[in-house]
A = this chain, B = another copy of it.
Amino acid sequence: MSGKLYGIGIGPGDPQLLTLRAYKLLSQAQVIAVPVKKLGEESTAQNIIRQAVDLKDKTIVALEFPMAHSKEILKESHLKAAARISGYLDQGRDVMLITLGDVSVYSTCTYVLRYVEAMGYETCIVPGIPSFCSGAALAKLPLVEGHENMAVISSIKGTKTLEEALDRFETVVVMKAGRHMNDLCRILKERELVDNTTVISNAGMENQYIGPVVSEKNFGYFTTLIIKQRKN
């Protein structure tokens, strides 16, 4: 009988934000698949779970997901990951594919799960805490209250979506904001929303930053902005 692929959201960085289910599955797992940007490099996700789960005696399978924009390169990496995982599933072993944050929110996991499922294997998704929920908690900032509405956007699509979202929503969450801080800051200044913006960078990790926009600071990839039209 074939093994089953679990896509597990491990939360944004703090190992204590693993769910009980994720913790149990990972503790009992034989095979854990971890995403890396480049083979041989450290896996951020692996570094997080190793603080809560003993990884000794487990098979760690590093899957390379390059930070590329080319759809072909990305698709190739997803198919390659699915093929490697299927090798373990064929041996009757379950595989835990871990991902930062939640599986359904901008996770590479999704593509791989879809391919593996299309190949005929069983899959299961375990949700995780998204970075914006963790960031909101650390900043003591409600995302939405009462009649408010929220947009969650990724900044890669350009700034038009941000403008439209700011026109209509009380709260706008911008994910993967790190590389676009200049454009984002320009819009925030134009709209006098700089003081209403909280930057959440590497939430729950060692180099965590939760605070106001600082234009000189170089924020990393895992940076989320919470923009509130109305200050609490």
Q: Which residues of B contact A138 (CB under 8 A)?
A: 125
Beyond A20-B15, A136-B104, whether A149 also contacts B145 by CB under 8 A is no
CB < 8 Å neighbour of A129 from B19, B113, B132, B146: B19
Output the nearest chain B residue to A103 by Cβ-Cβ distance.
B137
Copies in the complex: 2
Q: Which residues of B contact A157 (CB under 8 A)?
A: 147, 149
B21 near A19: Cβ-Cβ < 8 Å: no
B126 near A149: Cβ-Cβ < 8 Å: no
Q: Which residues of B contact A143 (CB under 8 A)?
A: 104-105
**Total contacting residues, chain A, CB less than 8 A:** 60
A146 to B99, CA, bound (A): 15
Interface centre among A17, A138, A149, A156 (most CB of B within 10 A): A149
A111: Cβ under 8 A from any B Cβ: yes
A103 to B133, CA, bound (A): 8
Q: Which A119-162 residues have a C-beta within 8 angstroms of B? A: 123, 125-130, 132-134, 136-138, 140-154, 156-157, 161
A221: Cβ under 8 A from any B Cβ: no
Q: Which residues of B contact A130 (CB under 8 A)?
A: 130, 133
A35: Cβ under 8 A from any B Cβ: no
CB < 8 Å neighbour of A111 from B17, B134, B145, B156: B145
A113 to B145, CA, bound (A): 13
Q: Which A157-195 residues have a C-beta within 8 angstroms of B? A: 157, 161, 164-165, 168-169
B20 near A17: Cβ-Cβ < 8 Å: yes
A102: Cβ under 8 A from any B Cβ: yes
A16 near B9: Cβ-Cβ < 8 Å: no
CB distance from A120 to the nearest CB of B (A): 15
CB distance from A167 to the nearest CB of B (A): 9
| Nearest 6 interchain pairs by C-beta | A104-B136, A125-B137, A16-B21, A149-B153, A127-B137, A104-B143
Instruction: Provide a sorted-by-A list of 8 A–B residue pairs whose CB atoms are within 8 angstroms.
Output: A9-B137, A18-B19, A106-B144, A107-B142, A127-B136, A144-B152, A144-B154, A168-B168
